[in-house]
Amino acid sequence: MNENEIIAKAQKGDRAALSKLVKMYEQTVYNFAYKICRDKEKAEHTMQETFLSMVKSINQFSGKSKLSTWLYTVVSNHCLMMARSNKKHAYISLDDESALIDPKNITDWDIAPDKFAENKELGGILDEVIKKLAPEYRVVFMLRDIQGFSTEETAEAIGLSVPAVKSRLHRARAFLRNELNSTFGYEKRL
Amino acid sequence: MKKDYKITCKDVMNHICDTLGEDLNSPTCTTLKSHLDSCESCQKYYKSISHTILVYKKDEWEISSDTHNKLLDFLGLEDCD
């Protein structure tokens, strides 16, 4: 049975089909929620709310976009909503775009991305670095660069204009790169 | 008279941040791409931005069986597991 057939069964109230959809996407949704929230409890909560939305709205799913695209959109907006309700955390301002790129601060990177998953210490560094990035930038970076959404799809998913997505992506990439430069860059500056 | 515009490394680095993953062969990119091809510093910046994206792509978080069970309980689908 393919995904469309499972969705059609779920739309007719077949609970086993709903359960099958949950199992098909729980890993994807949890992974994505964790990457944005950077917190196990928040990621679990986001995943639960995302699948609850799916169960409640499966009848309205038209199939025009992929189910995974719809799920990523729900996760993104839920994470943004949680971040807006928790304004205790102050993030580094990225308003000064010109300060994000300094041609004097360019180094060669000593990194083998293929072996990255084996290194837990580096995993902790990634965690600390992305936590410094404000959620509204984090979500754009994750949708566009990590999940492979187009700029237009990203804009539609989180209700931004295309220029706003481009600006946030630009700043997020430059910020993360700068933060990781002290870990991966050779000491000798060019 | 048309004034010559000299491209700086900062222009190219900004461009890398704007367009990575998009079509670098578009006509507007040609001059910047030409600089990138011959500038070691900009090539290193391009590589570091690419690797920033790659390391976050490889950052995977697995769902535990406990989290899976809690999800099915929450949705009232535990009997369908």
SS3 letters across B47-59:
HHHHHHHHHHHCC
Cβ–Cβ gap A48/B44 under 8 Å: no
Cβ–Cβ gap A170/B18 under 8 Å: yes
Q: Which amino acid belongs to residue A141?
A: F
Rounded to the nearest angstrom, the minimum Cα separation between A87 and chain B is: 25
Same domain for A57 and A12, yes or no, is: yes
Residue A138 lies in a domain: yes
Return the pLDDT at B60. 87
Q: Which two tokens stand for residue A182?
A: 């002290």
Q: Which two tokens stand for residue B29?
A: 């990119």
* Radius of gyration for chain A, computed over Cα atoms and rounded to the nearest angstrom: 19
Residues 21-50 of B with CB under 8 A from A: 21, 40-41, 44-45, 47-49
Rounded to the nearest angstrom, the minimum Cα separation between A81 and chain B is: 21
- Any idea what the CATH number is for the domain that residue A172 is in? 1.10.10.10
Tell me which residues of chain A have a pLDDT lower than 50.
188-190
Q: What pLDDT digit, counting tens, does each position of A46-98 carry?
A: 999 999 999 999 999 988 889 999 999 999 999 999 988 877 777 888 887 77
Q: How far apart are CA A70 and CA A50, in angstroms?
A: 10
Residue A189 lies in a domain: no
Q: Which of B16, B20, B61 is the best residue to mutate to test the A interface, defined by the most A CB atoms within 10 Å of its own CB?
A: B61
Catalogue the long-range contacts made by A38-46 (C-beta closer than 8 Å, 24 or more residues apart). A38/A127, A38/A130, A38/A131, A42/A79, A42/A82, A43/B61, A44/B67, A44/B70, A44/B71, A45/A82, A46/A75, A46/A78, A46/A79, A46/A82
- ∠ Cα A23 A14 A48 (to 5°): 40
Residue A190 lies in a domain: no
The DSSP call for residue A87 is: T
Cβ–Cβ gap B48/A22 under 8 Å: no
Q: In chain B, what percentage of residues exceed pLDDT 70?
A: 80
Same domain for A117 and A171, yes or no, is: yes
pLDDT at B40 over 50: yes
- Any idea what the CATH number is for the domain that residue A56 is in? 1.10.1740.10
Cβ–Cβ gap B17/A101 under 8 Å: yes
* Domain edge (last residue) among A65, A85, A105: A85
> B47 to chain A: nearest residue by CA?
A109
User: What is the tally of structural domains in chain A?
Assistant: 2
Residue A161 lies in a domain: yes
Same domain for A77 and A102, yes or no, is: no
* Domain edge (last residue) among A61, A85, A109: A85
Same domain for A72 and A23, yes or no, is: yes
Same domain for A151 and A113, yes or no, is: yes
* Domain edge (last residue) among A17, A50, A85: A85
Q: How far apart are CA B13 and CA A103, in angstroms?
A: 8
> A176 to chain B: nearest residue by CA?
B52
Assign B5 a pLDDT band (cuts: 50, 70, 90). Answer: low
Residue among B40, B70, B77 whose CB faces A44 most closely: B70
Residues 49-68 of B with CB under 8 A from A: 49, 51-63, 67-68
Return the pLDDT at B1. 42
Which residues in chain A touch residue B56, judged by CB atoms under 8 angstroms apart? 35, 126, 130, 141-142, 145-146, 176
Assign B2 a pLDDT band (cuts: 50, 70, 90). Answer: very low
Q: Which residues contact A18 (CB under 8 A, 6 or more apart)?
A: A10, A55, A58, B75, B77, B80
Same domain for A16 and A67, yes or no, is: yes
Gap between the terminal Cα atoms of chain A: 57
Range of the domain at A150: 97-184
Residue A118 lies in a domain: yes
Cβ–Cβ gap B68/A26 under 8 Å: yes
Q: Find tokens 């492979």 and name the residue.
A: A148
Same domain for A154 and A113, yes or no, is: yes
Return the pLDDT at A188. 46
Assign B24 a pLDDT band (cuts: 50, 70, 90). Answer: low
Residue A141 lies in a domain: yes
* Per-domain residue ranges of chain B: 9-80
Return the pLDDT at A109. 84
Q: What is the pTM of this model?
A: 0.87
Q: Which residues contact A15 (CB under 8 A, 6 or more apart)?
A: B77, B80
Residue A48 lies in a domain: yes
pLDDT at B28 over 70: no
> B12 to chain A: nearest residue by CA?
A103
